[in-house]
Amino acid sequence: MFINGKWILRKDLEVFNPYNLETIGYIPSLSREEVREAISIAQEYKDTMKELSPSKRYGILMDIAREIQRRKEELARIITLDAGKPIRQSIIEVDRCIGVFKLAAFYAKEMRGETIPLEDGIILTKREPVGLLGAITPFNFPLNLVAHKVAPAIAVGNVVVLHPSPKAPMAAIELTKIIEKVLKKREVPLGVFHLLTGRGEIVGDEIVRNENVNMVSFTGSVEVGESITRNAGFKKITLELGGNNPTIVLKDAPIDRAVKSTVRGKFLNAGQVCISVGKVLVEEEVAESFIEGVIRETKKLKVGDPMKRETDVGPLITPESAERVENLIKQALEEGGKLLYGGKREGNIVYPTVMEVDADNILCKVEVFGPVLPIVRVESMEEAVEISNNSIYGLHAGVFTRDIEKALWIADKLEYGGVIINNSPTFRVDNMPFGGVKRSGLGREGVKYAIEEMSEIKTVVIKLDR
């Protein structure tokens, strides 16, 4: 952990390589009292961070981006060791992280208010930092999802306490070292950034409850998100939670494109993506050709050691995660699902699996967070929309059709935070607003939109004698 510019090294928790379960490091596991002390120190630096000029914040963010670029291959390797992500996908994650810091640097200079005229004066608005941001991040994008909280927080002038998932904390540790180096170079007190490692039920819970924290930005499970809404008090919160993201394939869809996008969007990072394809709803007229194409493309995927460049699908994060997905497959079969391909598990690896199921199957109701693709036949786009909206989730949806009127009608009817036309719901770029409705979350990420969430509008009224 990194508190007030000092590294505290203890071997409280082991960190494992998900592929071979070898120990790759250790982290301290903070007590609640240690977290309270760190937060107390952090809140003393709120004025320091707020008073940094936009140009200085710009320089800090660009320096971080350049240092990440310099260490790109090393950071990608750490992500793969830490989270089991195939190395090609890890390299893409590092590239995205660089882009996030550059975007945040741009917006550090572009935060603008409004002027509102009065008959005898003027109203000015300006954005100010919330103060102290608690950032709680997951294992599946252990660098870029950290960047999506840290970079906009710095851009707007917030102090940060970062709590990464103990399942994959190593990338966040390396990013903290980079931030430390840049802050020293820019002569900024190191107390503006803190890394707090340990168990979520202690570290994360204290961040959520602590009255010195002004905002919590969390990415993770619905269950933890619900706990945060109960315990955060009057602080601001943004929650990026889970989903069972439908992909609707209409009979006039570009089938080859739909097949390739679906397979790519389902099996990226072994399905451990909040916007992974949750289920496919395909019109009956094209169901056979679509299913044949999906099986054909899925068979091409290389499964195994994530350090090998040819690997497409690596392990799940823990043995418990792999066992959970295996049990979901078994339950889906018991509920009448038909196994079309895959279904095998070896250790932490669950092989890419394709199933045909009914709309009330367990796979269509939960977030699987694994490499399992359920396909449902439907009679019409209206039925597909009805099934899609009959869900506790509302993160992303994908729609494949050549008819723009149908696409826009479906986009209007779907109760989701994002609707992706002619691509899978897994599509995301880092400058778009990102988030869900229902139990998929509160607020929006995406650098510009995160800055809006992480700031407050101050109104200044000037009365003039005329």
Which residues are annotated as catalytic? 240, 274
Tokens of 178: 């980079």
> Which amino acid makes up residue 451?
I
Task: List the 441-442 sheet strands across, edge first.
Answer: 6-7, 2-3, 193-195, 159-163, 132-136, 215-219, 236-240, 441-442
- Taking CA atoms, 349 is separated from 25, 236, 305, 411, in Å, by 22, 38, 10, 35
Q: H/E element holding 173?
A: helix 170-185
d(CA 383, CA 381): 5
CA distance 214 to 234: 8
Rounded-to-integer distance, Cα 234 and Cα 209, Å: 10
For the chain, report the end-to-end CA distance as a whole number of angstroms: 58
In order of 281, 351, 388, 420, the CA distances from 245 in angstroms are: 11, 20, 8, 11
- Compute the distance between CA of residue 450 and CA of residue 275 in angstroms, rounded to an integer: 18
Q: What distance in Å separates the CA atoms of residue 128 and residue 235, rounded to the nearest whole number?
A: 15
CA 451-77-193 angle, to 5 degrees, is 35
Tally the C-alpha atoms within 13 A of residue 238's C-alpha that lie toward its C-beta: 27
Q: Which of 228, 147, 271 is nearest to 443 (CA)?
A: 228
As a whole number of angstroms, the distance between CA 296 and CA 455 comes to: 48
Please name which of 328, 258, 315, 245 lies closest in space to residue 289, comparing C-alpha atoms.
Answer: 258
Q: What is the rounded CA–CA span in Å between residue 294 and residue 262?
A: 8
Rg (CA), the chain: 23
d(C-alpha 128, C-alpha 404), whole Å: 41
Location of structure tokens 């790519």: 264
Residue 98: name the closest of 146, 66, 54, 135 by CA: 66
- The DSSP element (H or E) to which 151 belongs, if any, is helix 144-156
Q: Which two tokens stand for residue 348?
A: 């932490």
